[in-house]
């Protein structure tokens, strides 16, 4: 499946924002959670649009993007 770089970048950003939650508590956690949430919403919205535009099952596209980001093929 051909995955646009933008979808990869958005997912990487969402994952990076989520990773920043580790070790935070209280107000710092709340503030970072909002950053993660906004990044995740942007990524999910872009997935939905791309899936509709390409007539690709959304779940299949999301799984492919997450696999590409979290478990990249060593040959890439």
Q: What is the mean pLDDT of residues 11-36?
A: 98
Cα distances (Å, whole numbers) of residue 61 to 10, 22, 53: 14, 28, 12
Asked if residue 52 lies in contact with residue 16, where contact means CB atoms within 8 angstroms, the answer is no
The mean pLDDT value of the chain amounts to: 96
pLDDT of residue 73: 83
65 contacts: CB under 8 Å, gap ≥ 6: 3, 7, 8, 11, 47
pLDDT of residue 1: 86
pTM: 0.92
How is residue 70 written in tokens?
């979290």
Percentage of the chain lying above the pLDDT 90 cut: 92
């Amino acid at each position: 499946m051909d995955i646009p770089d933008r979808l990869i970048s958005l997912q990487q950003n969402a994952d990076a924002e989520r990773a920043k939650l580790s070790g935070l508590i209280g107000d710092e956690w709340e503030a970072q959670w909002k950053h993660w949430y906004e990044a995740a919403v942007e990524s999910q919205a872009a997935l939905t649009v791309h899936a509709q535009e390409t007539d690709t099952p959304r779940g299949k596209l999301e799984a492919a993007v997450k696999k590409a980001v979290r478990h990249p093929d060593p040959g890439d």
